[in-house]
Amino acid sequence: MAIRTILHYPDKRLRTPGVSVSDFGPEFQALFEDMAETMYAAPGVGLAAPQIGVAVRLFVIDIAGSDEPSELQVFVNPRIVEAVGELCWDEGCLSFPGVTEEIVRAERVTVHAQDRYGKPFVLEAEGLLAIAIQHENDHLDGKLMVDHLGMLKRRMIDRAMRKKAAEANL
Protein backbone atom coordinates (compact mmCIF):
# COMPACT_ATOMS: atom_id res chain seq x y z
CA MET A 1 0.00 0.00 0.00
CA ALA A 2 1.09 3.52 -0.63
CA ILE A 3 -0.10 7.01 0.04
CA ARG A 4 -0.70 8.74 -3.30
CA THR A 5 -0.39 12.44 -4.02
CA ILE A 6 -3.74 14.22 -3.99
CA LEU A 7 -4.11 16.66 -6.88
CA HIS A 8 -5.12 20.20 -6.03
CA TYR A 9 -7.28 22.53 -8.07
CA PRO A 10 -6.61 23.85 -10.73
CA ASP A 11 -4.81 20.65 -11.84
CA LYS A 12 -6.44 19.77 -15.17
CA ARG A 13 -6.49 16.06 -14.40
CA LEU A 14 -9.32 16.78 -11.94
CA ARG A 15 -11.46 17.58 -14.99
CA THR A 16 -10.85 14.22 -16.69
CA PRO A 17 -13.96 12.00 -16.43
CA GLY A 18 -13.35 8.49 -15.14
CA VAL A 19 -13.85 5.38 -17.26
CA SER A 20 -15.81 2.36 -16.01
CA VAL A 21 -13.94 -0.36 -14.13
CA SER A 22 -14.23 -3.83 -15.67
CA ASP A 23 -11.08 -5.55 -14.35
CA PHE A 24 -11.22 -6.15 -10.59
CA GLY A 25 -7.84 -7.92 -10.53
CA PRO A 26 -4.75 -7.29 -8.36
CA GLU A 27 -3.93 -3.94 -9.96
CA PHE A 28 -7.39 -2.61 -9.12
CA GLN A 29 -7.21 -4.05 -5.58
CA ALA A 30 -3.91 -2.24 -5.05
CA LEU A 31 -5.44 1.00 -6.34
CA PHE A 32 -8.40 0.59 -3.97
CA GLU A 33 -6.08 0.01 -1.00
CA ASP A 34 -3.97 3.04 -1.91
CA MET A 35 -7.14 5.13 -2.17
CA ALA A 36 -8.28 4.11 1.32
CA GLU A 37 -4.84 4.71 2.81
CA THR A 38 -4.55 8.09 1.11
CA MET A 39 -8.00 9.18 2.33
CA TYR A 40 -7.27 8.18 5.95
CA ALA A 41 -3.83 9.81 5.88
CA ALA A 42 -5.20 13.12 4.56
CA PRO A 43 -7.52 12.80 6.56
CA GLY A 44 -10.77 13.12 4.62
CA VAL A 45 -14.28 11.66 4.55
CA GLY A 46 -14.09 10.81 0.85
CA LEU A 47 -11.69 10.44 -2.06
CA ALA A 48 -12.32 9.79 -5.74
CA ALA A 49 -9.78 8.15 -8.05
CA PRO A 50 -9.48 11.19 -10.38
CA GLN A 51 -8.17 13.12 -7.34
CA ILE A 52 -5.03 10.98 -7.43
CA GLY A 53 -4.82 11.26 -11.21
CA VAL A 54 -6.38 7.88 -11.99
CA ALA A 55 -9.36 8.45 -14.29
CA VAL A 56 -11.58 5.53 -13.28
CA ARG A 57 -15.03 5.35 -11.69
CA LEU A 58 -14.08 4.57 -8.10
CA PHE A 59 -14.45 6.43 -4.84
CA VAL A 60 -14.11 5.64 -1.14
CA ILE A 61 -15.98 7.19 1.77
CA ASP A 62 -15.78 6.94 5.55
CA ILE A 63 -18.04 9.34 7.40
CA ALA A 64 -17.40 7.89 10.87
CA GLY A 65 -16.43 10.53 13.44
CA SER A 66 -13.00 10.48 15.07
CA ASP A 67 -14.49 8.80 18.18
CA GLU A 68 -16.33 6.13 16.18
CA PRO A 69 -15.00 2.91 14.61
CA SER A 70 -14.02 3.44 10.97
CA GLU A 71 -16.51 2.30 8.35
CA LEU A 72 -14.95 2.21 4.91
CA GLN A 73 -17.38 2.22 2.00
CA VAL A 74 -16.30 1.72 -1.59
CA PHE A 75 -18.25 2.59 -4.72
CA VAL A 76 -17.19 1.31 -8.13
CA ASN A 77 -19.07 2.34 -11.30
CA PRO A 78 -21.71 4.13 -9.20
CA ARG A 79 -24.96 5.50 -10.59
CA ILE A 80 -27.24 7.76 -8.59
CA VAL A 81 -30.67 6.56 -9.70
CA GLU A 82 -32.80 8.67 -7.39
CA ALA A 83 -32.22 11.97 -5.59
CA VAL A 84 -34.87 13.65 -3.46
CA GLY A 85 -35.15 16.64 -1.15
CA GLU A 86 -32.66 19.41 -0.54
CA LEU A 87 -29.92 19.80 2.02
CA CYS A 88 -27.39 22.59 2.49
CA TRP A 89 -24.02 21.40 3.79
CA ASP A 90 -20.70 23.11 4.51
CA GLU A 91 -18.51 21.10 2.15
CA GLY A 92 -14.79 20.74 1.84
CA CYS A 93 -12.67 18.81 -0.64
CA LEU A 94 -9.15 17.37 -0.40
CA SER A 95 -8.43 18.99 -3.77
CA PHE A 96 -9.31 22.43 -2.29
CA PRO A 97 -7.34 22.55 0.97
CA GLY A 98 -8.61 25.20 3.34
CA VAL A 99 -11.81 25.86 1.39
CA THR A 100 -15.29 25.20 2.78
CA GLU A 101 -18.47 26.40 1.12
CA GLU A 102 -22.18 25.83 1.63
CA ILE A 103 -23.58 23.76 -1.22
CA VAL A 104 -27.15 22.59 -1.78
CA ARG A 105 -27.58 18.98 -2.81
CA ALA A 106 -30.23 16.26 -2.57
CA GLU A 107 -31.07 15.14 0.95
CA ARG A 108 -31.47 11.46 0.05
CA VAL A 109 -30.05 9.41 -2.79
CA THR A 110 -30.33 5.86 -4.04
CA VAL A 111 -27.13 4.62 -5.61
CA HIS A 112 -26.38 1.50 -7.62
CA ALA A 113 -22.71 0.53 -7.52
CA GLN A 114 -20.27 -2.38 -7.28
CA ASP A 115 -18.02 -3.30 -4.38
CA ARG A 116 -14.23 -3.79 -4.61
CA TYR A 117 -14.72 -7.25 -6.14
CA GLY A 118 -17.35 -6.15 -8.66
CA LYS A 119 -20.39 -7.38 -6.74
CA PRO A 120 -23.39 -5.07 -7.36
CA PHE A 121 -25.22 -3.42 -4.48
CA VAL A 122 -27.92 -0.84 -3.94
CA LEU A 123 -27.65 1.73 -1.17
CA GLU A 124 -30.09 4.32 0.10
CA ALA A 125 -28.30 7.15 1.87
CA GLU A 126 -29.27 10.35 3.61
CA GLY A 127 -27.58 13.27 5.35
CA LEU A 128 -23.78 13.41 5.32
CA LEU A 129 -23.44 10.08 3.52
CA ALA A 130 -25.77 11.27 0.74
CA ILE A 131 -23.79 14.51 0.47
CA ALA A 132 -20.47 12.64 0.32
CA ILE A 133 -21.77 10.27 -2.38
CA GLN A 134 -22.93 13.18 -4.54
CA HIS A 135 -19.67 15.09 -4.01
CA GLU A 136 -17.45 12.10 -4.87
CA ASN A 137 -19.68 11.05 -7.76
CA ASP A 138 -19.19 14.52 -9.26
CA HIS A 139 -15.41 13.91 -9.28
CA LEU A 140 -15.96 10.88 -11.55
CA ASP A 141 -17.47 13.25 -14.13
CA GLY A 142 -14.72 15.85 -13.74
CA LYS A 143 -17.10 18.07 -11.82
CA LEU A 144 -15.86 19.99 -8.77
CA MET A 145 -17.43 21.74 -5.77
CA VAL A 146 -16.79 25.18 -7.28
CA ASP A 147 -19.10 24.25 -10.15
CA HIS A 148 -21.99 24.46 -7.67
CA LEU A 149 -21.13 28.01 -6.57
CA GLY A 150 -22.06 31.40 -7.92
CA MET A 151 -19.69 33.21 -10.29
CA LEU A 152 -18.23 35.55 -7.67
CA LYS A 153 -17.35 32.86 -5.10
CA ARG A 154 -16.07 30.64 -7.85
CA ARG A 155 -13.77 33.37 -9.09
CA MET A 156 -12.46 34.13 -5.59
CA ILE A 157 -11.62 30.49 -4.93
CA ASP A 158 -10.08 30.08 -8.38
CA ARG A 159 -7.83 33.08 -7.78
CA ALA A 160 -6.80 31.95 -4.28
CA MET A 161 -6.03 28.40 -5.43
CA ARG A 162 -4.02 29.59 -8.45
CA LYS A 163 -2.02 31.91 -6.22
CA LYS A 164 -1.30 29.06 -3.80
CA ALA A 165 -0.24 26.78 -6.69
CA ALA A 166 2.06 29.48 -8.08
CA GLU A 167 3.66 30.00 -4.66
CA ALA A 168 4.18 26.26 -4.22
CA ASN A 169 6.04 26.17 -7.53
CA LEU A 170 8.43 29.01 -6.70
CB of 168 to Ni ion, least distance (A): 19
Query: Pattern 65-84, binding to Ni ion, x per CB under 5 A?
Result: --------------------
CA distances 134 to 11, 40, 72, 111, Å, are 21, 20, 17, 10
- Shortest gap between Cβ of 135 and Ni ion (angstroms)? 5
Q: Smallest gap, in angstroms, from Cβ of residue 119 to Ni ion?
A: 26
Phi, psi of 161 (to 5 degrees): -70, -40
Q: Which of 118, 98, 107 is nearest to 57 (CA)?
A: 118
- In sequence order, the 6+-apart residues with CB closer than 8 A to the CB of 44 are 92, 94
CB under 5 A: which stretch of 1-9, 25-33, 85-93, 150-158 binds Ni ion?
85-93
- 27, 86, 136, 167: which is the annotated catalytic residue? 136
Near Ni ion by CB under 5 A: residue from 58, 93, 129, 161: 93
Active site residue 136: yes
First to last CA, the chain: 31
Which residues contact Ni ion (rule: CB under 5 A)? Answer: 93
